[in-house]
Amino acid sequence: MVVLLQKLHNSNPNLTFRLKPSRSRSIAICAWVASAQALDVESQPLVRCLSSTRKLDPLPSSTTGLPRPRLDYRDISDNVVFKSHNAFNRKASLPVGAVQNIAKLYEEQKDISSRLNSKRNARSTVGDRIRQSAKDPVARQALVEEAKTLKGEISELEAMLVDVEDSLFTLALAVPNDTHPDVPIGPETVAAKLSEHGPTPIPASPERDHVRIGRSLNLLDLEAGALVSGSSWYYLLNEGALLELALTNYALSIAIKHGFTPVTTPDVVRSDIAYRCGFQPRDPQTVSQMYHVTNTPSFDEASNPEHAQSPDLVLTGTAEIPLGGMFANKILSAQELPIKVVGLGRAFRAEAGARGADTRGLYRVHQFSKLELFVVCGEEQSEAMMEELRKVQTEIFEGLNLPFRVLDMPTEELGASAYRKYDMEAWMPGRGSWGEISSTSNCTDYQARRLHIRYRRMSPSSSPESSTPEQPSTPTSIPFASYS
């Protein structure tokens, strides 16, 4: 909307506004690719590691009942140098030697597990011998003492294994996703421009400031927003409100044309889901960027002490979180993939500490409408799906005749989950600079591993090209899905 308000201004100070939905745009549009990775659930380790870059605490107590994320310790241990360099290039909050410690803990875990299995096997053997020595009290008593000793040793090893696994899990959570080899290394300034679209940018001018235009046309009320809710909250009025609705419908219509299923998402989610998607609601080292909902126990919780702990709820910072959660703990079939949805929801951002010229008016507000293009696909499809999302977004913005460019964002601009990210920036003459209006991320299996989103491969007998009758079979592996 900021871009369009600036674009509307011309040299006529008596400019009037008429809504043209087909040429309007104001909502944030984001695309996410989640690709599903193959996993042999009985014997193979996971292919990639899920991670978090901002905090080294384990996942908060799960109120969702989801299993623990399946992290690929072997992959980290086999690629210590690569993982360390990757975390350094992305400015991940990892302590010195964290990746090396993961490798050491993984070896320690395997050693303890091996010893524990040996002791358990020995206990089983002793148990059989005890049952067979019923007629020999002396031998039986000796075996009972041996069983007691084994029981103590097993308990000690089990406690050691829990401690090692917790430490290993906590450290591995902080390892970021891998990075696409073509991603530029460094800060935002080294982003690579992939393409530029639309008309030639008009000259920058303070006359095109979106706040000035919005006030002159009675499209927004920032003062009432500040009085009612605080700074960086706002009211959209008249055609300003209609413009947001028109932009939503416009973008939705293009997404639906490209095969996306429309979804309206919850604006409140459990913090466990947000964390598993790569958003860490309570980071003790930084100010939280998410709004937390304070609950009072419900009637059932008050009457049942076992359920007196209310779930930790947060307002969604993006529809990506509830869209990812929609597929959590599901096993999809390969024939279903890719699954393409477009989610419409409200995004809430605390934007703590973000004050200055770039937060004036409708910049970096605490609440805005957001349209999310979200794809769940197979591992081999994720990069192609990312390019498809890029084309859909390009079509949306070209239809609005905006000058914009597409950037391949560098390592220091990637979130914990992103394997690669494209940003789309429009020319904003009121600011005299380019500003982000959309982004596209390929998250590979980062979120799928945390949310336990998997799919069944098609067996050769179920292939359309197969001429033999289909036979019942059990899949040998269940892969994790990938996101775009």
* 261: CATH: 3.30.930.10
Statement to judge: residues 14 and 89 lie in one domain: no
Statement to judge: residues 106 and 204 lie in one domain: no
465 found inside a domain: no
Q: Read out DSSP for 226-294?
A: HHHT-TT--EE-HHHHHHHHHHHHHHHHHHHHTTPEEEE--SEEEHHHHHHTT--S--TTS---SPEEP
**Which pLDDT does position 31 carry in this prediction?**
62
137 found inside a domain: yes
For residue 17, which amino acid is it? F
Structural domain boundaries enclosing 147: 49-173
Statement to judge: residues 206 and 168 lie in one domain: no
CATH number of the domain to which 141 belongs: 1.10.287
Helix 238-257 to helix 382-399 angle (10° resolution) is 140
Statement to judge: residues 54 and 18 lie in one domain: no
125 found inside a domain: yes
Quick check: 470 and 344 in contact, CB under 8 A?
no
Statement to judge: residues 158 and 278 lie in one domain: no
Statement to judge: residues 274 and 373 lie in one domain: yes
193 found inside a domain: yes
β pairing state of 404-408 and 367-378:
unpaired
481 found inside a domain: no
Quick check: 39 and 16 in contact, CB under 8 A?
no
The rounded distance, in Å, linking the Cα atoms of 396 and 255 is 9
Statement to judge: residues 423 and 449 lie in one domain: yes
> CA 177 → CA 226, 275, 352, 420, distances in Å?
39, 15, 26, 10
Statement to judge: residues 242 and 315 lie in one domain: yes
The Cα diameter of the chain in Å comes to: 109
Ordered per-residue pLDDT tens for the chain, 484 residues: 666 656 555 444 444 433 333 333 334 555 666 555 443 332 222 222 222 223 334 454 456 688 999 889 999 999 999 999 999 999 998 888 999 999 999 999 999 999 999 999 999 998 888 888 878 888 888 988 999 999 999 999 999 999 999 999 999 988 999 999 999 999 999 999 999 999 999 999 989 999 999 999 999 999 999 999 998 999 999 999 999 999 999 999 999 999 999 999 999 999 889 989 887 543 444 456 788 887 645 545 445 544 445 568 999 999 999 999 999 999 999 999 999 999 999 999 887 555 555 677 888 899 999 999 999 999 889 999 999 999 999 999 999 999 999 999 999 999 999 999 999 999 999 999 999 999 999 999 999 999 999 998 876 655 544 444 444 434 445 667 676 6
468 found inside a domain: no
Statement to judge: residues 138 and 253 lie in one domain: no
Rg of the chain over all Cα atoms, to the nearest angstrom: 27
144 found inside a domain: yes
The DSSP output letter for 90 is T
Domain C-terminal end among 173, 191, 212: 173
42 found inside a domain: no
Statement to judge: residues 233 and 311 lie in one domain: yes
Number of domains the chain is built from = 2
> CA 76 → CA 72, 83, 87, 173, 277, distances in Å?
7, 7, 12, 11, 20
Statement to judge: residues 135 and 193 lie in one domain: no
Quick check: 33 and 443 in contact, CB under 8 A?
yes
> CA 148 → CA 117, 134, 141, 159, distances in Å?
16, 17, 11, 17
Helix 137-173 to helix 98-132 angle (10° resolution) is 160
Statement to judge: residues 164 and 230 lie in one domain: no
Query: CA quadruple 234, 399, 342, 352: dihedral positive or negative?
Result: negative
- pTM, two decimals, is 0.81
Quick check: 84 and 102 in contact, CB under 8 A?
no
Helix 98-132 to helix 80-89 angle (10° resolution) is 140
Domain C-terminal end among 173, 207, 223: 173
The rounded distance, in Å, linking the Cα atoms of 480 and 324 is 13
Q: What angle do CA 435, 441, 447 make, to 5 degrees?
A: 135
**Which pLDDT does position 295 carry in this prediction?**
64
Per DSSP, the chain holds a count of helices (H) and strands (E) of 13, 16
The rounded distance, in Å, linking the Cα atoms of 225 and 362 is 11
The rounded distance, in Å, linking the Cα atoms of 439 and 349 is 16
